[in-house]
Amino acid sequence: MLNEGKTTQYFKYAIGEIILVVIGILIALSINTWNENRKDAQLENNFFTNVLLDLEKDEQKLNYYKKFLGNRMMCLDTLLTYVRNPHRTMGIEKFGMYVEPLYYNENATNYSATFESAKTLGAFNTFSKKDLLKHLAQYYADFIIVKAQFDSSRLFTESQLEPIMATIPESYITLKTGSLVVQEEDVQDFYEKIAAIKDTRNLTIAYESLMQNPNFENYLIGDMGRTSNTIGKIDQRIFALKQIKKQLTGNY
């Protein structure tokens, strides 16, 4: 065209070609951006779906903790009632049944694998539900509060209850001793084994004097306070969990 003196037509043609190339590039970029956004949205959707599954497991565990702690509070309340009413006879078998659950403590468990994995991989940068992520981050961070409660209770049992109970022989253990114990695993085999080993010493178990020991009463009251406090923390966590679940089910 230039040779033929058709300069204007040439430039129109060249500009048209450039426009077509630019449009092609923009379309390609748009398709790529759309595809990346689709992948990010799918990743976010999968993340919150799996988080919801983790929260379901967390809720089941928290409900179990409430059952465990409620049972502990019942045993403590019963024992303290007998301590403060010495005219009431408890009997060694009943004493064993109510004191045995106090030896048990739980390890605080948190189902946060999905959240921690996404956090480590830096996936949160592309997520759109920032407020929901913030609530989740706070929920998982608050787990340390529950863990501290369980750790404190365990240390209290080891340092206070066990030395007191060491003052009397444990030949009071029978097949019924573990009947009030709340555990996720079956512990009855343990009590059956202990009860099967016949004790021929004919020891006198002076549990009545232990019941009137001020240290035992102090332990019961201290354990009741810790247990009550832990139940309160569990209730707070269950409430926070349900609020997050409500947000999740509303978005996904």
User: DSSP for 47-84?
Assistant: HHHHHHHHHHHHHHHHHHHHHHHHHHHHHHHHHHHHHT
Q: Each residue of 183-242: pLDDT tens digit?
A: 999 999 999 999 999 888 888 888 999 999 999 999 999 999 999 999 999 999 999 999
Q: Could you identify the residue written with the tokens 């403060």?
A: 84
> How many other C-beta atoms are found inside a 10 Å radius of the C-beta of residue 65?
22
Nearest to 141 by CA among 110, 178, 169, 180: 110
How far apart are alpha carbons 242 and 95 in whole angstroms?
39
Mean pLDDT taken over the chain = 89
pLDDT digits (tens, 9 = 90+) for 23-50: 777 776 777 666 666 776 788 899 999 9
Distant-in-sequence, close-in-space partners of 51: CB < 8 Å, separation ≥ 6: 114, 115, 136, 248
d(CA 1, CA 11): 10
Q: What is the C-alpha to C-alpha distance for residues 24 and 21, in angstroms, rounded to an integer?
A: 5
Whole-number percent of the chain with pLDDT over 90: 69
The proportion of the chain whose per-residue pLDDT surpasses 70, expressed as a percent, equals 89
